[in-house]
Amino acid sequence: MVHAEGVRKHFGRLDVLKGIDLTVERGQVCCLLGPSGSGKSTFLRCINHLEKVDAGRLTVDGDLVGYRQQGSKLHELREREVARRRRDIGMVFQRFNLFPHMTALQNVMDAPVKVAGADSAQARLDAERLLDRVGLADRAGHYPAQLSGGQQQRVAIARALAMKPKLMLFDEPTSALDPELVGDVLQVMRQLAADGMTMVVVTHEIAFAREVADTAVFMDEGVVVESGPPRQVLADPEQERTRTFLSKVL
């Protein structure tokens, strides 16, 4: 579903991604770990067309990100095509950026109706089902300000799912939450993984990564230092840098 080969990205003189190699198979969960500033968010943003890759090859579901291939020629995608491809990718950020003036239900049905042109009665039914799936059936009429951070984040997940993505990206989805609210969000993500969603999750929740990830990837300074099954990377890492990082977050 995601394939990166030598993906590079710089901002001015700062080399942020120095050749990322990474593969996420369909239906699998990849947890990305690493110190702040190592390029994790930038990499997710590249997958989601929010940043342009400078060099290397990045594909999502076989399609080259940002380009259309015609014979041996590459054509940069037009904005409309980028927007269409981005619809297939759901993204959940650290800060649940819900629309404050819309209820939970309206937040979830907004994109299907406005972007995908869904019938609004059908979109409402789908949104109700999604809110039920994230445990918030009884909060459909609440505005974000009336919800806890954890509830808002679950609405954000439902909103991303409403576009029926084939890939979900999570960028530290629980980092901004009070500790007692983290569990419910992780539970929703655990269920999503069990339902077969392909997921790339940036997280410092080592226990979650150990339990749910098919692959754990440790990034530092713009490179993948080490990757493999979580029971190996997280419990018995080969690289000193991975060990040092884990000893700090555990």
Number of residues lying near ligand ADP (CB under 6 A)? 11
* Contact call for residue 37 and ligand ADP (CB under 6 A): yes
* Contact call for residue 203 and Mg ion (CB under 5 A): no
At closest approach, how far in Å is the CB of 160 from Mg ion? 18
* Contact call for residue 42 and ligand ADP (CB under 6 A): yes
Closer residue to ligand ADP (CB): 161 or 201: 201
Is the sign of the CA dihedral 164, 168, 170, 174 positive or negative? positive
- In the list 28, 41, 107, 151, the residue contacting Mg ion (rule: CB under 5 A) is 41
Which among ligand ADP, Mg ion, none contacts residue 11 (Cβ within 5 to 8 A by kind)? ligand ADP
At closest approach, how far in Å is the CB of 43 from ligand ADP? 7
At closest approach, how far in Å is the CB of 41 from Mg ion? 3
Q: Which stretch binds Mg ion (CB under 5 A): 26-34, 40-48, 59-67, 224-232?
A: 40-48
Footprint on this chain of ligand ADP (rule: CB under 6 A)? 11, 14, 16, 34, 36-42
